[in-house]
């Protein structure tokens, strides 16, 4: 165990190397620490501009942004929203916050992203168009929106998905929380559909400590989002509320941190892409045992979290690899359980081929340290440990 370093190598730690302290200091000195302030405005403007959107609204979390997006898309109780089965749980939870039901669409095993062909076939074969919209024939419920998630820094194949959504007149909401800084055919992830959402959680590429933001091209939607996020206040002085609102506004302190982080986004993406290419190089000879993430022809990935999938003789060794890495001071993690494997969503309709690709991938995948600040020495250590584990299996 001589390669154990004193500090464990983190999975995905924040990198606070820019103007963070300076901007925070300014908040304290000026007293602008709460939900109004120049950094909130700056963050909203800069993210919107970065991804070619007309307006942005900052929120307390990415989850809050997704919840608002569903409300703005008029998702009603008893309706349905298509979400991927393979994702962090937040989008499925948000559908339930809106009183609606998620319909879980399996992923393409090559990209891990939502399988657009499945969405198309499901709509064409199991849904019908009525005056009031698109109805799921299996459940009789109206389908109100489609919410793809750009997973792990890699974009969904969004053009064909947009085409299907347009055909069926379904609003598309991008969950871009894991993929700020990624591009689809040269267009920023988060520039597609009705609304797109980002997260500034601690392990995301840009952090505010915690926070989120939604962007849209429709100013009325942004105004409505701001209204709902401030308890739906209808009068600046008297406490008049004509709708149920939420306390979803980001503070200036959090925004200050995010603005400082955002200034470094291109360096962060470059660092993540460099980390990915080092892993790619190191593991290219282990193809029999390790399937590596591959950037699709349409994609420029931000490689937010580098995730490998065990195959061949190593297919059943996920937990062994996780334990081995963690014992040796390397923080590695499995993917999230597929949504349908979690109790609140067990009974949701699952759209897949013969068997669930998402559960298969979850059972075999491991995310490796991908922090912007990962040193080459640390990464060499991770590579060596992964190789040693895999070679032991190969015998």
Ligand X SMILES: *Cc1c(COP(=O)(O)O)cnc(C)c1O
Residues that bind ligand X (CB under 6 A): 61-63, 87-88, 90-91, 149, 175, 177-178, 199, 201, 212
DSSP classification of residue 106: P
Half-sphere exposure of 150 (CA within 13 A, CB side): 37
Task: Give the closest residue to 161 by CA, choosing from 56, 84, 47, 213.
Answer: 84
In the complex with ligand X, the residue whose CB is nearer, 58 or 221, is 58
Name which of 199 and 357 has its Cβ closer to ligand X: 199
Neighbours of 29 (CB within 10 A): 8
Closer to ligand X by CB, 15 or 150: give it: 150
Smallest distance, ligand X to C-beta of residue 100, A: 16
Question: What is the number of the residue whose Cβ is closest to ligand X?
Answer: 62
In the complex, what is the shortest distance from the CB of residue 153 to ligand X, in angstroms, rounded to a whole number?
Answer: 10
Helix, strand, or coil here: 286? helix
Q: What is the 3-state secondary structure (H, E, C) of 150-184?
A: CHHHCCCCHHHHHHHHHHCCCCEEEECCCCCCCEE
Nearest to 189 by CA among 201, 199, 177, 200: 177
> Between residues 357 and 381, which has the closer beta carbon with respect to ligand X?
357
Report CA torsion sign: 243, 246, 251, 257.
Answer: negative
Residue reference for tokens 């000879």: 285
In the complex, the smallest distance separating the C-beta of residue 212 from ligand X, rounded to whole angstroms, is: 5
Smallest gap from residue 115 Cβ to ligand X (A): 17
In the complex with ligand X, which residue's Cβ is closer, 265 or 315?
265
Nearer to ligand X, 201 or 216 (CB): 201
Distance, CA of 363 to CA of 357 (rounded, Å): 10
> Which CB sits closer to ligand X, 90 or 134?
90
To the nearest whole angstrom, how small is the minimum distance from the Cβ of residue 29 to ligand X? Answer: 28
What is the closest distance, in whole angstroms, from the C-beta atom of residue 319 to ligand X in the complex? Answer: 22
State the alpha helices, DSSP H only, in the chain.
Answer: 20-30, 38-50, 62-72, 90-97, 116-126, 158-167, 219-229, 252-262, 265-283, 318-327, 357-364, 376-394
Q: How far apart are CA 215 and CA 57, in angstroms?
A: 6
Pick 258 or 289: Cβ nearer ligand X? 258
CB of 354 to ligand X, least distance (A): 26
Tell me the backbone φ, ψ of residue 282, rounded to 5 degrees.
-65, -30
Least distance (Å) from ligand X to the CB of residue 322?
A: 19
- 230: helix, coil or strand? strand
For the CB of residue 60, give the shortest distance to ligand X in the complex, in Å: 8
HSE on the CB side for 79, CA within 13 Å? 23
Nearer to ligand X (CB atom), residue 135 or residue 175: 175
Task: Decide if 72 contacts 60 (C-beta within 8 A).
Answer: no
């Amino acid at each position: 165990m001589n390669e154990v370093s004193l500090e464990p190598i983190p999975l995905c730690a924040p990198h606070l190397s820019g103007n963070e302290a300076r901007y925070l200091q300014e908040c304290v000195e000026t007293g602008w620490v709460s939900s109004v302030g120049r950094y909130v405005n700056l963050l909203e403007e800069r993210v919107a501009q970065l991804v070619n959107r007309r307006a942005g609204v900052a929120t307390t979390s990415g989850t809050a942004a997704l919840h608002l997006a569903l409300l703005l898309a008029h998702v009603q109780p008893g309706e349905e929203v298509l979400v991927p089965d393979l994702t962090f749980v937040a989008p499925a939870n948000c559908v339930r916050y809106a009183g609606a039901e998620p319909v879980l669409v399996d992923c393409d095993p090559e990209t891990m992203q939502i399988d657009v062909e499945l969405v198309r076939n499901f709509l064409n074969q199991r849904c019908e168009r009525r005056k009031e919209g698109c109805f799921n024939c299996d459940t009789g419920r109206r389908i109100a929106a489609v919410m793809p998630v750009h997973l792990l820094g890699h974009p969904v194949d969004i053009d064909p998905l947009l085409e299907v959504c347009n055909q069926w007149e379904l609003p598309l909401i991008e969950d871009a929380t894991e993929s700020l800084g990624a591009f689809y055919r040269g267009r920023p992830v988060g520039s597609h559909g009705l609304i797109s959402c980002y997260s500034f959680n601690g392990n995301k590429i840009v952090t505010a400590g915690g926070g989120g933001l939604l962007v849209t091209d429709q100013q009325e939607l942004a105004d409505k989002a701001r209204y709902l996020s401030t308890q739906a206040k209808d009068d600046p002085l008297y406490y008049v509320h004509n709708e149920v609102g939420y306390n979803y506004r980001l503070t200036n302190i959090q925004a200050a941190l995010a603005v400082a982080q955002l200034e470094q986004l291109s360096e962060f993406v470059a660092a993540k892409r460099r980390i990915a290419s080092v892993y790619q190089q190191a593991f290219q000879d282990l193809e029999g045992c390790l399937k590596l993430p591959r950037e699709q022809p349409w994609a420029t990935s931000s490689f937010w979290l580098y995730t490998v999938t065990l195959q061949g003789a190593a297919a059943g060794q996920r937990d062994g690899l996780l334990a081995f890495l963690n014992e040796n001071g390397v923080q590695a993690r499995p993917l999230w359980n597929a949504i349908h494997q979690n109790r609140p969503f067990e009974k949701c309709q699952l759209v897949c081929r013969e068997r669930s690709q998402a559960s298969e991938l979850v059972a075999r995948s491991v995310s490796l340290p991908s922090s912007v600040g990962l040193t080459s020495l640390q990464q060499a250590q991770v590579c060596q440990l992964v190789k040693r584990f895999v070679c032991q299996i190969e015998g």
